[in-house]
Amino acid sequence: MEVLLDGKEVSKSIAQDSTLKDALHYMQSNLCPRDHLVIKVRCNGEDIPGEKMEASLSKPISTLEKVEVVTSTREHLITDAMTQASISLEDTESACKKIAEQLTEGKNTEAIESLGECLRIWQHIHEAVGKSLMMLDVDPATMMIQDESIDVVIAKPTEVLMQIKQALMAQDYVLLSDILEYEFTSVTDQWHSIIARIRQQAEELVSN
């Protein structure tokens, strides 16, 4: 049995009769730096998918040839998540313009397929923002972006996303094109401001 914690061999510290869950708990409590969290576990060279996590955690660690555990700080997790969110958001900005053009040209099927992908990305960004705020353990009502609290700013793009979904349900492609062409620029600007503010908060924690 080989157990690696951030690339360092720690097998001798792990009780042989431990389950994988017990071993992870021990590493988190006793071997990880205080500000680090376990973010990834690989067993025998393979990542554990979410649907198999519970079953894998109950396995005796002695039955596994190799366990690799990766940790990171919450601040680095947040900055990485916000960097990816920013990149994803930029990708959808150009996509929205193309979708609006397709709707104007009557290419509705192509446009709706592309919009569906954008909606999935925006949902992921929304989830990343929410999780990052939870990890920062700050009240969104007290974190400010210029003169507004972040929870107020977050509500604005959410309202426009609801308008997009309503236009889709009504198959009002003229309205949908108008929203994407004329209103969504302000929405992406708001998301960029939110992402930048969360990244700033995380970086301030690192520097402190």
* C-alpha to C-alpha distance for 74 and 79, rounded to whole angstroms: 9
Q: Which residues contact 141 (CB under 8 A, 6 or more apart)?
A: 149, 150, 151
Same-domain status, 33 and 136 = no
pLDDT band for position 5 (cuts 50, 70, 90): very high
Same-domain status, 105 and 132 = yes
Domain termination residue (choose one: 21, 37, 64): 64
Q: Is position 114 within any domain?
A: yes
Same-domain status, 96 and 181 = yes
> Please, are residues 4 and 10 in contact by the beta-carbon 8 Å criterion?
yes
Q: Is position 140 within any domain?
A: yes
Q: Is position 18 within any domain?
A: yes
Convert the pLDDT of each residue in 73-131 to its tens digit: 888 899 999 999 999 999 888 888 899 999 999 999 999 999 999 989 988 998 999 88
pLDDT at 10 over 90: yes
The CB density around residue 164, as the number of other CB atoms within 10 Å, is: 21
Same-domain status, 50 and 102 = no
Same-domain status, 49 and 97 = no
Domain termination residue (choose one: 64, 86, 117): 64
pLDDT at 51 over 80: no
Same-domain status, 19 and 84 = no
Question: Which one-letter amino acid corresponds to residue 13?
Answer: S
Residue-wise over 27-37: b if at least 16 C-beta within 10 A, else e? beeebbeeebe
Domain termination residue (choose one: 12, 40, 64): 64
Q: Is position 70 within any domain?
A: no
Which residue segment(s) compose the domain that 20 sits in? 2-64
Same-domain status, 102 and 183 = yes
Angle between helices 74-104 and 108-136 (to 10 degrees): 160
Where would I find the H helices in 68-149?
74-104, 108-136
Q: Is position 174 within any domain?
A: yes
pLDDT at 208: 58
- 166 φ, ψ to 5°? -65, -40
pLDDT at 111: 93
Q: Which pair of tokens denotes residue 163?
A: 């308008």
Same-domain status, 45 and 142 = no
Q: Is position 19 within any domain?
A: yes
pLDDT at 206: 64
* C-alpha to C-alpha distance for 140 and 134, rounded to whole angstroms: 9
Same-domain status, 125 and 51 = no
Place of tokens 């730096």: 33
Q: How many domains does the chain have?
A: 2
Same-domain status, 19 and 82 = no
Same-domain status, 114 and 201 = yes
Same-domain status, 106 and 174 = yes
